[in-house]
Chain A
Amino acid sequence: MNTAHATTAVSKSRLVENFPFPFTADRYRYTTNVEPAASTVATAAGHWGGAVVDIDGEYRAELDERAAILAADPARHVVLPHMRPAAWDAMLTLMRALAQAYPDQMQLRSTGPDTWSWRNAILGIEQSFRYGDEASLGMEPLRYIASQVQEDIVLLDQRGDALYIDAGVVTFAADWSFGFDVGMSFLEIHGPVPRIRKEGIIIRAHEFLKRLQPHQPYRRTNWTMTIGRRLDVSTELYPEWGPDRETIRTVDDAEFGRAVHLRVEVQHLIRLADSGALMFLIRTYLLPLDELATVEAWRVRTAEVLAELPDDMAEYKGIGKYRNRAAQWLRDHGPHAAADNDRNADVPADQHGGLPSWGLPHWPPYPPEVDTAGAAYLVVAIGADVTTGRVARDWVAAASSAGPTRLLVLDTLTHDMDRTALTGALDESITGTRILIVGGQGEVMWALSVARAKGAIAAELTAYVVHTRDLLAYCAHCAQTTLCQAAPGDIVDCPGCGRRIEIHAHHSSVRGSFLACAAAGEESA
C-alpha cells in the first residue's frame, strides 16, 4: 500500500492538474451531455480536453496493465468478422489523432497507395504496414493501436436504424462486461441504466449518434466512484473488487480519503470516415478524494453532488454503500472547518493568505528577512522559547533601521490579556505595517488568523515557527478550538464536548486550526 502510493506520488499533481472534473452544478442528473471535442476546458486546478487522445504520466503503466489484462482474459478484445474494415479505420484514425496531438513523438506518413509508416517514439515503435493487411502489421489492428493509447476502444456498427457494439478492446470497464455485451445494440446495453430510457435521454443520444458525421468528433463525460486506484472494475472481476464496497465502510478517515476515487470517463464519439462505424473512446481518470479535496471548488461541489444524488442512481453506480460517507468526508476535509466553506468556495488553494491551505502548513526553515518596504513594523514574540527571543531581537534590529518598530512580547494567546494586547496592537497599526510573528506552531497560526481577521493581507505577514509540538485543534462537532500539545494523527480530548477527537492533517489558514473529528469508534460507541 505504502509502496503503491510512493511510486505514484510524483505524478499526482499532474493527475489533479489535468483531471476532467465532471460536475458543472451541485446536482447531477443524466443528460445527453455531448459537446464538440478537442476544445480545452479550464478547471479550478488546470485544464483538460485539448485532444481526442490524451497521453499522461500514466501512459506506460496503463498500457502495461492493459497488456496484462488482455493476456489473462483475451475476451476483452473482440472484433466480429464484419468489423474488420472498421478496426482498420479506427487504427488509422487514432494514429492520425496521436500524430496531431503529439507531433514530436508520433508520426504517420503515407508511403504509397495504401502503405503507411508509423512511428511512436515514446514506445520506440517504427512500423510499416499496408492498409487492410493484418500480416503487414503482425496483429489485429484494433489490438495493435489499443497497445498505444490509454483509451478503451469500442466500435459500433450502424444498421437497420440502430447501433450495435460489434468490436472493441475494453480493459478498464466500469462495472460492465464488454465480452457479454458484444453484439448487443446500444439501446439494449443501456437498458439497465435507471431513468435514461424513461426520460428519453437514451433515445435522443441514440438519434444523435446515428446522425453523427465523420470529421466532427464529439465528447461527453460520465462518472462513478471506485475504491482503490483500480482501472479494471469489470463485471468479470467483480468477485475481486466487490468486497471493497463492504470493507471501505470500516476504514478510518485517512484511509477512506486515499482509497475512494472519483472516476471520470471522457468519452469521445467519432464517426469513422471510410467504414462508417462509430468509435467510442473511453478514457478513465481516477482521483482519490484526498487529492480532489485539495481543490476547494471540487471538494465543495462533489460533496453536494454526492449528498443529493437520488438513491436509484447511486445504486446503479454501485456507490450506494459509501456515497454518504464520501460526501461527509469531503465536507469535513476542507482547508478549514465547515463554517468557512461558504466564504472560501471557489477560491483556489494558493490564494489563502499565501500559505498552502490544506495538508500540513509549510514553514520556512530559517527566519525570513524583514521586508524593508514596510511603513511600520510590529514584531510579535509569543512564548518563552530562547529561539523566539533571538529571532524577535534580530527582526527588531533590522526593522528599526527601516521604519517605526514595535515589539509585543506575549506568553500565550490562551490568556485573555495577551489576546487583548495583540488585537489592540493590530488595531493601532497603520496601513502598510509589516507584521512579523514568531513562536510555537499553534500560537503562530493563531496569531496569524487574528491578524488576517483584522484585515492583514499575505504580503504584510511574516511568520517563523520555532517548534511544531503544538497546534490548534478545531472540533468538527462542537466548533471549539483548543491549543494542544499534539500532532496530526493524535487523539485528544475536546474540552468543548468531551469527545475523543482525532486531529487530521488538514488545516485552515483562516482559522489557524487543524480539523479534528471523533476518533474511530467514538461516534458509534
Chain B
Amino acid sequence: MTAAAATGAVPASGGEQLDLTLTVTAITAAAQGIRTITLANADGSLLPGFVPGSHLVVHIGGHANAYSLVSDGTAPTEYRISVLLVGNGRGGSRCLHRDVTTGDELRVSTPRSAFAPIARARKHLLIAGGIGITPIVSHLRAARRWGRETQVLYTFRPRNAAHLDDVRELTDGAAELFTCRTDFMTRLRVVLRSQPIGTHLYVCGPAGMIDDVLAAAVAVGWPPSRRHSERFGADVLDPGEPFRVRLTGTDRILDVDSGISLLDVLEQNGISVPNQCRQGVCGECRLDVCAGVPRHRDLFLSEQEKADGTAIMACVSRAQEGTTLEVSL
C-alpha cells in the first residue's frame, strides 16, 4: 500500500473500509429528479452511527458514488440518502433512479465524515444550493438534538426543492428560502455582515454557487478557519488539462489526456490502485508524489497536505498542463 509507505507504520486512512449490505425499505420522490432512498438492515437492527454531514458510498452497477446522509446519525436504524438524477454523470445516479426498487439489496460503505459541524461554534450559518441541502439536513437534525444555534439560507430552482418540509420543520420555519439567485446573494451579503463572533459558515451546492458564497464571505472578513464548503451534487469537475505521469517503480511514463482521470489512466495500463468513491472524498486512491506539482481538486487532503504537495488523490486531481508528475508506483 503506497500510502502506508509514505507515513511509515501509519495507515493513511482509518484502515479497511467496512461494507454493509442493506435493504431498500422506502423510495420517495423528494423533488423533480430527486429520489430519497431509505436503507435498513433486513432485521431492522441498529446501523453504525454517523457524524452530521457524512456521506455513504453506494456500490451499484459497477459504479461507486457518494451521497450525503439526510437522516439522524445517532443510533440509527435506517439511512436515508437523496439522489439527484445526473444526466451526464457516470451512471450511478441513473441506476439508483431506474433500477432500484423497494426490497432490493444495496452494498454501501460505512458512513464517512467529511463535512462535520464545529462543536465549539457559537452558531452555524448553513447555506445550501439545490441538492447541496442534503448534508445541511443532517446538520439541522443534530443541531436540534443538541440545541445548537443555526441560521439557514437555501436557494433552489423552483421545481427542484428537495427536503423543503424537513428544512422548515427543523428550523421552526426560520429557514430563508430563495428561488432567485440575485435575491439570495443580496440577502447573503447582509447576513454575512451580522454574525456574532464564533459563527462558522457551511456551504454546500454547485461549484459556482459555492465560489460566490465564499467570495462574499471573504469580502467581509471571514477567515479561512470559519469557511467550510463541500462541493457536491450536479457538477462534474472540468476535464482538466493534459499532463504526464512517471511511475518511479518501473520508470514508465503515461499520458493523462484532458477528460480522463489519472486513476483511469493507471487502471487502463494495468496498474491497480485502491479506490472507492472516485470523487476525491474517500481517500482510498491517495498516491505519494515524488516530483512535480499536483493540482489538487479533492476534498480529502488537508490544506497543509495540499500545500506540501507530497500526495495526490488520483481520482480527481491532476497537474499543470504539460508538466510531469512523478508518483511512487
Contact = CB atoms under 8 A, between A and B. Distances in A.
A adjacent to B, CB under 8 Å: yes
Interface of A: 31-34, 36, 80, 82-86, 89, 92, 110, 114, 131-132, 157-161, 166, 204-205, 207-208, 210-216, 218, 271, 273-277
Given A205-B10, A213-B112, A216-B18, A82 B51 contact: no
B13 A213 contact: yes
Given A208-B7, A214-B49, A216-B16, 9 more contacts: A31-B9, A33-B9, A85-B119, A159-B119, A211-B283, A215-B48, A273-B50, A274-B74, A276-B52
B73 A274 contact: yes
Interface in B40-68: 46, 48-52
Given A131-B75, A213-B112, A273 B51 contact: yes
Contacts of A32: 7-10
A401 B16 CA distance: 68
Contacts of B225: 160
Interface string B86-107: 0000000000000000000000
- In this complex, which of A110, A114, A158, A274 has the most chain B Cβ atoms within 10 angstroms of its Cβ? A274
Contacts of B303: 161
20 contacts: A31-B8, A33-B9, A82-B119, A85-B146, A131-B75, A132-B146, A159-B118, A208-B10, A210-B302, A211-B13, A211-B283, A213-B110, A214-B50, A216-B16, A273-B51, A274-B49, A274-B73, A274-B74, A274-B75, A274-B142
Contacts of A85: 119, 142, 145-146
Contact of A214 (B48, B75, B119, B305): B48
Nearest to A210: B302
Max chain B Cβ within 10 angstroms of own Cβ: one of A82, A83, A205, A271:
A82
B249 interface: no
B49 A273 contact: yes
B111 interface: yes
A85 B146 CA distance: 7
Contact of A207 (B73, B119, B302): B302
B323 to A, nearest CB: 26
A213 B111 CA distance: 9
B143 to A, nearest CB: 10
Interface residues of B, number: 39
Contacts of B119: 82-83, 85-86, 157, 159, 275-277
A114 B4 CA distance: 39
B268 interface: no
B33 interface: no
A36 B15 CA distance: 8
A158 B145 CA distance: 20
Contacts of B283: 211
Interface in B108-153: 110-113, 116-121, 142, 145-146
B11 interface: yes
B269 interface: no
B146 A211 contact: no
B221 interface: no
B304 interface: yes
A208 B12 CA distance: 6
A132 B145 contact: yes
A274 B119 CA distance: 12
B208 interface: no
A379 B162 CA distance: 95
B294 to A, nearest CB: 17
B224 to A, nearest CB: 9
Contacts of A204: 7-8, 10
Contacts of B270: none
A131 B74 contact: yes
B51 A216 contact: no
Given A273-B48, A274-B142, A211 B12 contact: yes
Contacts of A110: 46, 75
A114 B113 CA distance: 22
* Max chain A C-beta neighbours (<10 A), residue from B120, B145, B302: B120
B196 interface: no
Contacts of A86: 119
Contacts of B120: 80, 82, 157, 159, 166
Most central of B11, B283, B304 by chain A CB within 10 Å: B11
